[in-house]
Structure 1
Amino acid sequence: MRTPSLTTTAPARFLLLGDSHAGPIGHAAQRAGIPFRGGPIGPGRDFTDSFFTTRDTPAGSDVVFRSVEAEEHYRRVLGELGIAALAGLSIPLVATFGFCAHFVALRENWDLYRDRSGLIPPAFLSSSLFDDIVRAIVRDALAFYTHAVGLGLHVLAVMPPQRVPGQADPVVFMAAQERIRLAVTEIGADVVDLRQRTTGPDGLQRPELCEADDEVHGNLAFGRIILAELLERGL
């Protein structure tokens, strides 16, 4: 799901970096005529562990993505913004890294912790061990947010659509994304959590906000809700 930067001469209002969940945000901004740069630079599974390194440059501290495609896209976007490093960013950074909780919640990853009935005990999901495991899985995403916040950037981390594909455990999904939310909040990023506005009584994404024929993504309507929230927060 690749969303190009909006083509306009107006100054960009924000830099968008992330996985495919960034797509609806970019599409909504395009439709609304809100200038931005960036978009999805790879699949969610690529942005949990070991996806970037940091380096110091004459232009300031920067990140280098290990994926050739992601790095090329990132460099192109920096060029469009007229900067040579992340440290030079003067507009908010909107990101979705680390919030692909359905990868964290893959059923097979948690079989060791199931009881005899095949369920994950609530006590385990609220334990420090579970917290440690989740943070370890998304450690590079947390490191990215730590680096960006440390540069003094206004970082807005967008939580994912509440959609759980069949290969993921819904209970683990809900618990894991909450641990990720808390970890990113502790770092100092501004977490965009729209669950109360986008879910039904079961806690899952309302059908009208889901991408058709897709188990994971939100649609344009969902992106518009996120965009409205970002604008309310000063973009």
Structure 2
Amino acid sequence: MGKAAEAARVPFRGGPLGAGRDFTASFFSATGTDVSFHDPEAEKLYRGFLADSGAGALGELTVPLVATFGFAVHFVATRHNWHPHRRADGSFPPGYLTSDLFAAVVRAWNADAIAFYRFVTGLGVRVLAVLPPQRVPRQSDPEVFFAAQECVREAVAATGAEIVDVRPRTAGPDRTQLPRFCLPNDEIHGNLAFGRIVLSDLLARGL
């Protein structure tokens, strides 16, 4: 998104605070109208982004916050994580991936990310949560990836955050990212063309 905005000369503040896996566990603390990130480098970057936006705390933001926290579901979907949940033939029990148990496991995994969205929207800040590129690396289970993504999407939407979902424009019939929107020699990320589509969606929302 950032590279697409730069290429289009669309002004923005911010950028990556870390890898997706850094935001699937406890990563922040909230106090008053602000948060602090547990990772020192993420905290340093965050303070810089706030300063660039003219805000002393998260609750003082006057511009929408765009985030992807919690949507690195390929980590959740790593195959070995789910061996204990499978039957002897390697399949999941019928209905397991849409069950309350599965949803509880996934949401527990992403509890801090969901809590982050809930906290920020509670401050009155407009939050837009962007679904990830629909790319399932070899070490991840596609069934779990898509089911887990839906669990996180529903939980984040319930916090009041707006979901930015460009899947109808960037994914094929098998639900995975179309090759023309994939970053070459990379199993996870989207390319500049994908970023441009996300950017166009954000701009259409009035950002």
**Partner residue in 2 for 1:46:** 22
User: What is the DSSP-based 3-state SS (H/G/I as helix, E as strand, rest coil) of the residue aligned with 1:99?
Assistant: coil
**Partner residue in 2 for 1:14:** none
CA deviations over 1:41-75 (Å, ceiling 9, x no partner): 1011110121000112xxxx101000000000000
Indicate the RMSD between aligned Cα atoms, in angstroms: 0.8
**Partner residue in 2 for 1:138:** 110
- Structure 2 CA distance for aligned equivalents of residues 170 and 36 of structure 1: 34
- Structure 2 CA distance for aligned equivalents of residues 191 and 185 of structure 1: 6
Greater alpha carbon shift after TM alignment, 113-122 vs 154-163? 113-122
- Structure 2 CA distance for aligned equivalents of residues 229 and 119 of structure 1: 37
- Structure 2 CA distance for aligned equivalents of residues 121 and 231 of structure 1: 43
CA deviations over 1:84-125 (Å, ceiling 9, x no partner): 100100000000000001011011110011122212234110
Letter in 2 for 1:126: T
Letter in 2 for 1:168: S
- Structure 2 CA distance for aligned equivalents of residues 26 and 218 of structure 1: 12
- Structure 1 CA distance for aligned equivalents of residues 44 and 25 of structure 2: 19
Letter in 1 for 2:6: Q
CA deviations over 1:2-51 (Å, ceiling 9, x no partner): xxxxxxxxxxxxxxxxxxxxxxx000000111100001110111101210
Taking only the aligned residue pairs, the percentage that are identical comes to: 57
**Partner residue in 2 for 1:27:** 3
* Structure 1 alignment gaps of length 5 or more: 1-24
Q: Are 1:160 and 2:132 counterparts? A: yes
* Structure 2 alignment gaps of length 5 or more: none
User: What is the DSSP-based 3-state SS (H/G/I as helix, E as strand, rest coil) of the residue aligned with 1:213?
Assistant: coil
The alpha carbon displacement at 1:196 in A equals 1.2
Q: Are 1:68 and 2:40 counterparts? A: yes
Count of residues in correspondence between the two structures: 207
- Structure 1 CA distance for aligned equivalents of residues 76 and 186 of structure 2: 19
**Partner residue in 2 for 1:127:** 99
Letter in 2 for 1:188: G
TM-score by length of 2: 0.98
TM-score by length of 1: 0.87
- Structure 2 CA distance for aligned equivalents of residues 120 and 210 of structure 1: 29
- Structure 2 CA distance for aligned equivalents of residues 92 and 220 of structure 1: 22
- Structure 2 CA distance for aligned equivalents of residues 122 and 94 of structure 1: 36
**Partner residue in 1 for 2:165:** 193
1:1-40 to 2 correspondence within 5 Å?
25-40=1-16
Runs of 4+ in 1 over 3 A off after TM superposition: none
Pick one of 71, 78, 83 that aligns with 1:111. 83
Pick one of 119, 135, 141 that aligns with 1:169. 141
